[in-house]
Amino acid sequence: MLVLVTGGAGYIGSVAVAELITSGYDVAVLDNLSLGHRQAVHPQAKIFELDLADKAQLSETLSKLRPEAILHFASRSQVGQSMQQPFLYLHHNVSEGLNLLEAAVTAGVHRFILSSTANLYDQPQKIPIDETEALIPGSPYGEAKHYLERALFWLNKTHGLKFAVLRYFNAAGATTTLGEDHRPETHLIPLVLQVALGQRSKITIFGDQYPTRDGTCVRDYIHVTDLAQAHILALQALDTRTEPGLFYNLGNGSGYTVREVIDTATRITGHSIAQEIGPARAGDVAALVASSEKIRHELGWQPRYPDLESIVATAWDWHRRHPRGYGE
């Protein structure tokens, strides 16, 4: 089966590509390489350097390739940036996603998996958060993902497109060869590890007055390999389950504060990590912890790295061995 992966040169997409190939799928990667790294793409995947804004080239590529499924990772993905530059998300993330969907249904693609986000749960009534929680986007980033989820709902009705929506909590960790290298980096774990490596002088904690156990934000960190595995299970489930669309939250069910992440990294790296308190970041939700009972129960998903220690340890291993990331 040929699977097309958009954003297959990015952090999560590249790991999904590797896992798909290991599981026996043929993979084509579609990436404009603006945020991703060519070196992260598995050598057995065919890469198409293409921008989702380019409708004509996109349609031509899809009708030529005729993939049997699309996994859509390509996206700007920063909550904070979306509060500063909302149109990058409300306009570009949405229109590029719609270009892809239009090209997909025109080319007769029947299976689609969307990378969605925990940022849809801005005001959770219950922690851990399950899929019945009200969808209230917490930022333009979340709003754009919500719109694409709705587009899938309608394309299922109009074109019979089978789809799965995977709402990630905080992706983290690395494989032995693939890790997190954003330019600039904004995510907590890689930034903390850069302090441990001496590449940064300190980590700024964005706010310590949240209603949490130590005043800093609580997040549920999930290993990137476990996320990738969930995509493979969801892809298989599109052919066996009868619901019009599948919706799953993906996290480990344990929340850690920013301070706890820093303490864990201090223990694992053996380096002290200088920290300061800064202002809260616009768009941040106090606590996001997933219930992933639904995907465990329905698809048999089982994380290999269910605890923060092992997630940070894999990330540290990668950062130590790739101190300049992918090195461009």
Active site residue ranges: 141
Q: Which residues bind ligand UFG (CB under 6 A)?
A: 77-79, 117-119, 169-170, 186-188, 191, 203-206, 217, 219, 258, 281, 284, 288
Strands (E), the chain: 2-6, 26-31, 46-49, 69-72, 111-117, 162-168, 170-172, 203-206, 218-219, 221-223, 245-250, 256-257, 275-278, 287-288
The least CB distance from residue 257 to ligand UFG, in Å, is: 8
The least CB distance from residue 70 to ligand UFG, in Å, is: 20
The least CB distance from residue 118 to ligand UFG, in Å, is: 4
**Polymer length in residues for the chain:** 328
The least CB distance from residue 258 to ligand UFG, in Å, is: 4
Q: How far is CA 231 from CA 29, 40, 166, 201, in A?
A: 15, 18, 8, 37
CB 235 within 8 A of CB 160: no
Question: Which residue, 58, 62, 50, 54, is CA-closest to 2?
Answer: 62
* Between 133 and 284, CB nearer to ligand UFG: 284
The least CB distance from residue 119 to ligand UFG, in Å, is: 4
* Between 156 and 215, CB nearer to ligand UFG: 215
Token pair recorded at residue 73: 């990772």
CB 71 within 8 A of CB 235: yes
Helices (H), 115-251: 140-159, 188-196, 224-237
* Between 109 and 172, CB nearer to ligand UFG: 172
The least CB distance from residue 14 to ligand UFG, in Å, is: 16
Sign of CA dihedral 178, 182, 187, 192: positive
- The rounded distance, in Å, linking the Cα atoms of 247 and 266 is 36
The helix or strand, by DSSP H or E, that contains position 83, with its residue range, turns out to be: helix 79-84
* Between 193 and 203, CB nearer to ligand UFG: 203
* Between 181 and 284, CB nearer to ligand UFG: 284
